[in-house]
A and B are shown apart, each in its own frame.
Chain A
Amino acid sequence: QKEVEQDPGPLSVPEGAIVSLNCTYSNSAFQYFMWYRQYSRKGPELLMYTYSSGNKEDGRFTAQVDKSSKYISLFIRDSQPSDSATYLCAMYSGGSNYKLTFGKGTLLTVNP
């Protein structure tokens, strides 16, 4: 089983839709969870950063972590064409373990 699994999509939604992006993971030591957004021909841009279980909201974006299920989600409300990008989840356990483990990314297209 891969350490982090992420559905590659592609995912296509109409403007204004609620988008749900998800990752599952197998390593119970992961404590820090991130979502990155990557536009075409650009580097990944940090979108959300959470520690342990729970929710975090930032504008139209909400990150959820369920450590008991080893499942993280990113919700985008009122999606816009400018949200069209690849979304990468990433996580690490912290302490002396530096290694950031990435999902392979989900390609999202929001159609006007």
Chain B
Amino acid sequence: IAGITQAPTSQILAAGRRMTLRCTQDMRHNAMYWYRQDLGLGLRLIHYSNTAGTTGKGEVPDGYSVSRANTDDFPLTLASAVPSQTSVYFCASSDQFGQPQHFGDGTRLSIL
């Protein structure tokens, strides 16, 4: 079934550790996005990529980095995790930049 695969589905991480969240899509969508979802704050855009080889900052980019080496993969890296990065992280993609986005099922990350 075509869609977005995120891994891991959940993770508990010690503060200060480095962590990469993986996202792969098989729809050949050009644009990809990373969001975090927090209770009371809704979905907030972290980083985006409108095509392979380019990335941009969203609303809450600090402490996160991304890369887009090819069309299908868009990993999100926390270089040195902090407790405030405890959240549910969603990867999304769209055929064209800004068009309706399709989401993965998320990674639940707890930083202790």
Spell out A's residues near B (CB within 8 Å).
Answer: 32, 34, 36, 41-46, 49, 88, 92, 94, 97-100, 102-105
Contact = CB atoms under 8 A, between A and B. Distances in A.
A31 B52 CA distance: 27
B94 to A, nearest CB: 9
The 4 closest A-B CB pairs, nearest first, are A43-B103, A104-B42, A98-B98, A102-B43
Nearest to B48: A98
Contact of B105 (A34, A42, A88, A94): A42
Nearest to B44: A102
A31 to B, nearest CB: 11
Nearest to B35: A102
Interface of B: 4, 31, 40-43, 45, 48, 50, 58, 90, 92, 97-98, 100-106
Given A43-B90, A44-B90, A88-B43, A100 B102 contact: no
Given A43-B90, A44-B90, A104-B42, A98 B103 contact: no
7 contacts: A32-B100, A34-B100, A43-B90, A88-B42, A100-B45, A102-B43, A104-B41
B45 A99 contact: yes
B43 A43 contact: no
Contacts of B45: 99-100
A56 to B, nearest CB: 13
B98 A94 contact: yes
A37 B95 CA distance: 20
